[in-house]
Amino acid sequence: MDGKLTYELQDNILYLKAKGDYSAQEFIELWKNALNDSLVPRRFGVVVDARHSKTSHRIADIKPIHDELRKWNERIARIAVVVQSDQHFGFTRQCSVYDELDGRDVNPFYEIESAIDWVNEKLKSDPTCNNTMHTC
């Protein structure tokens, strides 16, 4: 993946960073690698930073990602996708309809701070998390 797709964990948020061009399969591999990391808690939020992504997928290209995410529904509190363009915002919002049908809460954002706040709001109110320690 040559640094196009990376992840890091901070508190209970898994940050996935996407740069340049990448395939849906490469994104799925990143997702699997992240979830096999022993540091990822049982319940967590996700912030996908796609502001530097140059990839233009079709909705059909995203279906394998949705299929993979479905396996992790019980562990994912929320997914925020940070985008730079109106086109990516609209595409992410369209795709989020499929997520909602699968029981996932996904929203696009232009600002990473807003995305983090939205994910943290859910984590703090999640009864499966220890709200004082912010650990799940």
130 pLDDT band, cuts 50/70/90, is low
- Residue 80 structural domain: 5-125
Q: Which residues contact 121 (CB under 8 A, 6 or more apart)?
A: none
Q: What is the rounded CA–CA span in Å between residue 109 and residue 119?
A: 11
Query: Which candidate, 58, 99, 61, 60, places its Cα nearest to that of 81?
Result: 99
The answer to whether residue 131 sits within a structural domain is no
pLDDT tens for 18-28 read 898 888 889 88
CATH assignment of the domain containing 72: 3.30.750.24
Amino acid 46 reads: V
Tell me which of 87 and 114 has the higher pLDDT. 114
Q: What is the pLDDT of residue 62?
A: 73
Q: Tell me the per-residue pLDDT of 13-50, one tens digit each, with 9 for 90 and over.
A: 999 998 988 888 898 899 888 988 889 998 999 999 99
Residue 134 falls within a domain, yes or no? no
In the predicted structure, residue 131 carries a pLDDT above the cut 70: no
Number of domains in the chain: 1
**Does residue 106 surpass a pLDDT of 80?**
yes
Phi/psi for 60 (5° steps) reads: -60, -30
